Amino acid sequence: MMMNGLLKSMKHSLPRQIDVLIIFLAEGKVFLPLLRILKQQDAGRISVNGKPHRDFIQAAPYLIGIAVYEVLKRILLPELQAFLSLKWPNDLLWQGRKISGILIESAFESEVVNIVVGIGLNIVQSPKIPGRVLTSIRETGSPLITPEALAKNILTESKKWFSCWKIGRFPAIRREWLSRTCPKGTILEVGGGKSPVKGRFVGITDLGHLMIEDHNQKIKCLVTTEMR
């Protein structure tokens, strides 16, 4: 498994770009790794279906999350960096406002597993979405960066954390991720609908599942859910 090279393509916007790339992978129309930069995306996904927990697939959301965190932290003004945090399973927050989201998809072909990573990061402005509290780099008061420079920095940082994973596997990545998220004991509310679950944040399991302690002091492990 390698993370070298760069193929860059600029488009204004495309719906569900990850779906397009997965189709191209299946048809052998792209060479990996591929970096595609979009100015905006017309359609997204709220929830992520469960994936087979192969070693790297398990670590990928956390590895990429750390990479984006480190790049974004360097962009923010020094006095603003402490307000940045990772939110399980795939968001980055600044002062509790979502500034970035990550979506990992996998495409299987015989014995080969292709990982497709989609990163949305608000640079100039944040979209107005009912029920969502969002922000952007500009809205934090930090200096702007071009999408091209941002993407290259994330790719470089991802290689660093890929090397970390190769040495220490998921335990090393999990340890680093936990140091950048909310403190243990933080009250979280998870699950949509009329019956959300509220509890204290305990940590992440060996399989990358969220652990919370409910009001009965029972530990619950969640695979995928909406967290508030």
User: 106-133 pLDDT, tens per residue?
Assistant: 776 666 667 778 888 999 999 888 888 9
Q: What pTM does this model have?
A: 0.77
**Pick the residue with more confidence: 196 or 18?**
196
Nearest to 202 by CA among 222, 224, 225: 222
Most confident residue range from 67-76, 106-115, 191-200: 67-76
Tell the CATH superfamily of the 1-181 domain.
Bira Bifunctional Protein; Domain 2 (3.30.930.10)
Segments of the chain assigned to CATH 3.30.930.10? 1-181
Fold of 184-227: SH3 type barrels. (2.30.30)
Segments of the chain assigned to CATH 2.30.30? 184-227
What integer is the mean pLDDT of 208-226?
Answer: 85
The string of DSSP codes covering the chain is: -------EEEEEEETTHHHHHHHHHHTT---SS-EEEEEEES---SS-------HHHHHHHHHHHHHHHHHHHHHS-GGGGGGEEEETTTEEEETTEEEEEEEEEEEEETTEEEEEEEEEE-SS-----TT--B--TGGGTPPP--HHHHHHHHHHHHHHHHHHHHHHHHHHHHHHHHTTBPPTT-EEEE--TT--EEEEEEEE-TTS-EEEE-TTS-EEEESS--B-
Whether the predicted pLDDT of 211 surpasses 70: yes
Q: State the chain's mean pLDDT as an integer.
A: 78
* pLDDT of res. 227: 59
